[in-house]
A and B are shown apart, each in its own frame.
Chain A
Amino acid sequence: MISLSNKIFLVAPEALTALASRLGHFRTKNVAVKQLTLALLGAILFALPTAQAVQAKDMEIVVWAPADQNERYRFEAVALAANVLNEELKIENRDINVIVSSRSFTGAQTWQQLKQGFSLAVEAGQGPHIIVGGHEDIPVWGSAGLILPIEDSVDLEAWPFSDVFTSLWPIMSWNGQIWGVPQDAESRPFFGWNPHLKAIGYSDADIAALPAKIKRGQYTLQNVLEDAKKIQDKGLVEKGYGFYPRATKGGDYWQFYAVQKGGDMIDAKSGKLILDKGALLGYYQFFHDAVFKYEVTKKNHLGMEWDQWYNEVANGKAGLWHGGTWHYARYTRREGLKDFFDKVTFSLIPSGGPGGKATTLTHPLTYLISRQTKGEELEIAGRLITIVSEPRLNTLHAIASAHLGISTAQTKVSQYSDDRWTAEATELLKSAFALPNSINFGKYDTLVWKGLTAAWSGDLSPEQAVDTVVKEMKATMGDQVIIR
């Protein structure tokens, strides 16, 4: 009884109904059909007073999720959870039959469509019951009243939530309430290509010790630039490939701010954003130096093709780079990197220097409940989310997509612990930070990003870029940001 989004209708009679429903109002139509069926059923039951069975009433729970093929468990696991829930409901003698229908968003503009589509649908009084969003959507949708705080619908003190990594809960919170539960976690490691590191004098032991050294802050971004330069000077990689950052704009770049001294982004007490001029300068200076002083990064690197980027880093064409835990899936599957652990070292992003600390960004997605969900539906949606957060169910997504798990118990599920990548990468999560949940984050992020691109391209010096950003931020955001 589980219907998924990718329905196929090529058989003639089915095609006709599908066509008709496509041109009309999909849901209304379904409801009408259901009512008709129920009426018929009722008539039959009435005619056969001896019939014992109670017909469970269908309850449709709609789930929307951003998901590529290997992330399909974001919604498929909810359907699996419904199987369990339906059995539970049977045992409890509740006459509800839960049907999960889901819609996945995929492609280059996944997020844009999901966010826009969800906002408009809920404003129109429609839309899904459960949505998988980014944690940064919490303040935006919370403020617009599109989602309900999850703490009112599920018992966060109880299993399996009691076992969820405690560091994830602040990321699910905004404005004094917990709005969602983590759907997955990830981190964005720093990577090095071992053969190149060996060629510039690292022994196997040195390489093995590197992640710990980075964590202690003994290997900094300065060392990154120097090693990248050595790799390049030896002719191991082409010019501009010594340090090969993410190909396009992304939250990842905030890591180079966060590893600096004073690189805080939000004031916990007031909920206001913070911009630290010193940290910002360190961040801009690093990329400016990489491009102009050391020449280990290309001036026009940003905006390059992801396909090319993945192919290059997975084939040793870059020396040092940074990416995401889910890149592992891409490197080893699509790019065919066979001996990942031999070839690649990964760690936290090295500290920016004295006073800074090595860290990595985590960007958990989250199950959220929309305001459309009322009464009994709210209870059922909450129970679905609870079941889907069970270690074994969540692990399906973690392994299939090379994301990280959300709870301690999950690290003990064999499918998870047997997977070397997820098992080792989960360690990074302990030192991770997340982007702040604030409705002003988008504006703030856009400005800081513009400053980076200016310093990167050499249009402005790092100092000028900081000044421009600060001036622009004061002008357009006023006292919403604490500049220090």
Chain B
Amino acid sequence: MLPASVTVTLFFVIPVMMTFVFSFTTMSSDTGILGNRYIVTKATILDLTEHGIDAALVRQLGHKVFRFNDAGLAKIREIGLDSSLVKEIEEKLSGDEFASEKALFAALKQLINRPRSFKHRKAISKSVVNTITNQEFRTAAAFRAGLVANGIKVDDATFGQLLDLTNTSWRWTTDNYVELLASDFTFKILANTAFYVFFTLLFNVGFALVLALATFYMPSGQSKFFRAVWLIPRISPSVIYVMLWKWFTFDSGFMSYFLGSLGVEPENWLNEFPWTFVIIVNGFVGASMGMIIFASAVLAIPADVLRAAEVDGAYPMQQVRRIILPLMAWPILFITSYQTLSLLTSFEYILLLTDGGPGFFTTETWALNAYHTALSNYFGNLRYGFGATLAVVLVFFGVALSLLYLRLFDFKKLVAEPLIEN
């Protein structure tokens, strides 16, 4: 019990809670995940001006100068340059200032003992540069110290503003939820999801029942065979299973070939009827689980009950309706609710099959959209925060549906008191 709780807590419960927290952040690839990072760059300089920071201060922040003062020269001595070069620098450049690295390098080139390697030129440049731009600071204190070292004085209020504007890390926000509500696409995806879950569920549970009952009335060899066949999709790696469906439905695949012999033009049937196949492909996978549970449930019905019915002259259909189905209410409800939640969050097969296409969000479901946002943005700036928001909303729907199902079948019975008391 304990190891299970610890594992689930560490890698599932806590991450879920953290995801709730993340849904209120702007976290994405470009903000990073950990910690603050203060840096003044070309873009921040523009940003600072737009936010009304004092122009003189902005100029200071953007200022970059290469200065051969005592501190700079001291650093140069530690690089390990030729002593002739160090001497020449001390003689000729002491006290000089350069506005750009290019100008500095040009000046170095004029020296008799000029540094030939880029490594040394760069080291000299690094020794004498005075600037705050493109310097990274991980804490506010370090940033403050950096400003002081560059002779930039700011009051506390302005410093607060600077901290905010130069920080590349993520911030708290409720914009994710606002964006979701404002977007025209939210409803479309929601409708898709409802459509997908409802029809796949119908297919799943329907076929599971049919299979369970049909195989019950079959010789055992046949029933074993069909159960095995319907389990294959479930036990095949998704990549293979979907690859086979694509082979089955594409222009020169089996369906086109078969229908071609009936005079139908070859088509990419998957593209023609995306939803049909999304539902069938997921349905075949899902049906097996229901089938196993239902089949076992039928087997669990005491044989006497069925025999009594047979003696009464009941046909199989009547048996099914009058005796079997009522006894199976509980497993049916369990499978229905469990599968609803599974389908809400599943996207793997749709991802591999249509990737939400073809065309305008045709088969994009909520979970797939969360995946696209949080993990697979085409140009790589992954929106973790927004993805988390999508997940949270999905959980909200999951909880709502669960509560609905709980009204239908008693959760209390599911978590009923344990059998043995200590």
Which A positions have Cβ atoms within 8 angstroms of B? Answer: 109, 111-112, 115-116, 119-120, 123, 134, 136-137, 139-141, 143-146, 149, 152, 154-155, 158, 175-177, 248-251, 270-271, 298-305, 308, 379, 435, 439-443, 445-446, 450, 453-454, 456-457, 459, 468, 471-472, 475-476
Which of B33, B42, B361, B379 contacts A453 (CB under 8 A)? B361
Complex: chain B residue closest to A155, CB-CB? B118
Complex: chain B residue closest to A112, CB-CB? B376
Which of A137, A270, A305, A446 contacts B250 (CB under 8 A)? A305
Question: When the two chains form their complex, are residues B271 and A144 in contact, meaning their CB atoms are under 8 A apart?
Answer: no
Which B positions have Cβ atoms within 8 angstroms of A? Answer: 29-34, 37, 39, 41-43, 46, 118-119, 122, 134, 136, 168, 179, 182-185, 246, 250-251, 268, 271-272, 274, 354-362, 375-383
Question: When the two chains form their complex, are residues A300 and B358 in contact, meaning their CB atoms are under 8 A apart?
Answer: yes
Question: When the two chains form their complex, are residues A450 and B185 in contact, meaning their CB atoms are under 8 A apart?
Answer: yes
In the bound complex, CA of A439 to CA of B361 (Å): 24
Question: When the two chains form their complex, are residues B375 and A116 in contact, meaning their CB atoms are under 8 A apart?
Answer: yes
When A123-B33, A441-B381 are in contact, do A300 and B271 touch as well, CB less than 8 Å?
yes
In the bound complex, CA of A95 to CA of B272 (Å): 65
Residues of B within 8 A of A440 (CB): 381
Residues of B within 8 A of A298 (CB): 271
Question: When the two chains form their complex, are residues B378 and A442 in contact, meaning their CB atoms are under 8 A apart?
Answer: yes
Complex: chain B residue closest to A469, CB-CB? B184
In the bound complex, CA of A134 to CA of B378 (Å): 11
CB distance from B128 to the nearest CB of A (A): 15
In the bound complex, CA of A196 to CA of B251 (Å): 22
Question: When the two chains form their complex, are residues A457 and B32 in contact, meaning their CB atoms are under 8 A apart?
Answer: no
Complex: chain A residue closest to B253, CB-CB? A308
Question: When the two chains form their complex, are residues A443 and B381 in contact, meaning their CB atoms are under 8 A apart?
Answer: yes
Question: When the two chains form their complex, are residues A442 and B182 in contact, meaning their CB atoms are under 8 A apart?
Answer: no
Q: Can you report 24 residue pairs joining A to B where beta carbons are below 8 Å apart?
A: A112-B376, A120-B33, A123-B34, A139-B30, A143-B30, A143-B168, A144-B32, A145-B37, A175-B43, A302-B358, A303-B362, A305-B246, A305-B250, A439-B30, A440-B381, A441-B381, A442-B381, A450-B185, A453-B359, A453-B361, A457-B362, A459-B360, A472-B184, A476-B182
Residues of A within 8 A of B46 (CB): 270-271
How many residue pairs link A and B with beta carbons under 8 A? The number is 137
Question: When the two chains form their complex, are residues B359 and A457 in contact, meaning their CB atoms are under 8 A apart?
Answer: yes
Question: When the two chains form their complex, are residues B29 and A140 in contact, meaning their CB atoms are under 8 A apart?
Answer: yes
CB distance from B292 to the nearest CB of A (A): 31
10 closest A-B pairs (Cβ-Cβ)? A303-B357, A176-B42, A303-B358, A155-B118, A442-B381, A144-B32, A457-B359, A143-B30, A453-B360, A439-B30
Residues of A within 8 A of B360 (CB): 450, 453-454, 456-457, 459
CB distance from A375 to the nearest CB of B (A): 12
When A145-B168, A303-B357 are in contact, do A475 and B182 touch as well, CB less than 8 Å?
yes
Other A-B pairs beyond A140-B29, A143-B168, A144-B168, 20, CB < 8 Å: A111-B380, A116-B382, A119-B29, A134-B380, A139-B30, A144-B37, A145-B37, A176-B41, A248-B357, A251-B378, A301-B358, A303-B355, A442-B383, A445-B379, A446-B378, A450-B185, A450-B360, A453-B361, A475-B179, A476-B182
Question: When the two chains form their complex, are residues B375 and A112 in contact, meaning their CB atoms are under 8 A apart?
Answer: yes
Question: When the two chains form their complex, are residues B182 and A304 in contact, meaning their CB atoms are under 8 A apart?
Answer: no
Question: When the two chains form their complex, are residues B268 and A140 in contact, meaning their CB atoms are under 8 A apart?
Answer: no
When A143-B31, A144-B29, A305-B246 are in contact, do A300 and B251 touch as well, CB less than 8 Å?
no
Complex: chain B residue closest to A446, CB-CB? B377
When A158-B118, A270-B46, A308-B251 are in contact, do A442 and B380 touch as well, CB less than 8 Å?
yes
Residues of B within 8 A of A301 (CB): 358
CB distance from B365 to the nearest CB of A (A): 15
Residues of B within 8 A of A158 (CB): 118
Question: When the two chains form their complex, are residues B31 and A152 in contact, meaning their CB atoms are under 8 A apart?
Answer: no
Which of B118, B184, B376 contacts A154 (CB under 8 A)? B118
Which of B168, B184, B251, B358 is packed against the most chain A CB atoms within 10 Å? B358
Question: When the two chains form their complex, are residues A450 and B361 in contact, meaning their CB atoms are under 8 A apart?
Answer: yes
Residues of A within 8 A of B179 (CB): 475-476
Question: When the two chains form their complex, are residues A299 and B32 in contact, meaning their CB atoms are under 8 A apart?
Answer: no
Which of B30, B42, B122, B274 is packed against the most chain A CB atoms within 10 Å? B30
In the bound complex, CA of A140 to CA of B379 (Å): 9
Residues of B within 8 A of A441 (CB): 379, 381
CB distance from A284 to the nearest CB of B (A): 12
Which of B33, B43, B377 contacts A442 (CB under 8 A)? B377
CB distance from B406 to the nearest CB of A (A): 37
Question: When the two chains form their complex, are residues B42 and A303 in contact, meaning their CB atoms are under 8 A apart?
Answer: no
In the bound complex, CA of A271 to CA of B47 (Å): 11
Complex: chain B residue closest to A156, CB-CB? B118
Question: When the two chains form their complex, are residues A442 and B37 in contact, meaning their CB atoms are under 8 A apart?
Answer: no
In the bound complex, CA of A400 to CA of B375 (Å): 31
In the bound complex, CA of A128 to CA of B375 (Å): 21
Question: When the two chains form their complex, are residues A144 and B378 in contact, meaning their CB atoms are under 8 A apart?
Answer: no
When A158-B118, A472-B184 are in contact, do A140 and B359 touch as well, CB less than 8 Å?
no
Complex: chain A residue closest to B239, CB-CB? A108
When A116-B375, A116-B382, A140-B30 are in contact, do A152 and B122 touch as well, CB less than 8 Å?
yes
Residues of B within 8 A of A446 (CB): 377-378
Which of B31, B355, B375, B377 is packed against the most chain A CB atoms within 10 Å? B377
In the bound complex, CA of A175 to CA of B45 (Å): 10
When A249-B378, A442-B381 are in contact, do A146 and B32 touch as well, CB less than 8 Å?
yes
Residues of A within 8 A of B183 (CB): 472, 475-476
When A116-B382, A134-B380, A450-B185 are in contact, do A303 and B359 touch as well, CB less than 8 Å?
yes
Which of B32, B41, B136, B361 is packed against the most chain A CB atoms within 10 Å? B32
Which of A155, A248, A442, A456 is packed against the most chain B CB atoms within 10 Å? A442
CB distance from B159 to the nearest CB of A (A): 21
In the bound complex, CA of A453 to CA of B185 (Å): 12
Which of B119, B356, B362 contacts A379 (CB under 8 A)? B119
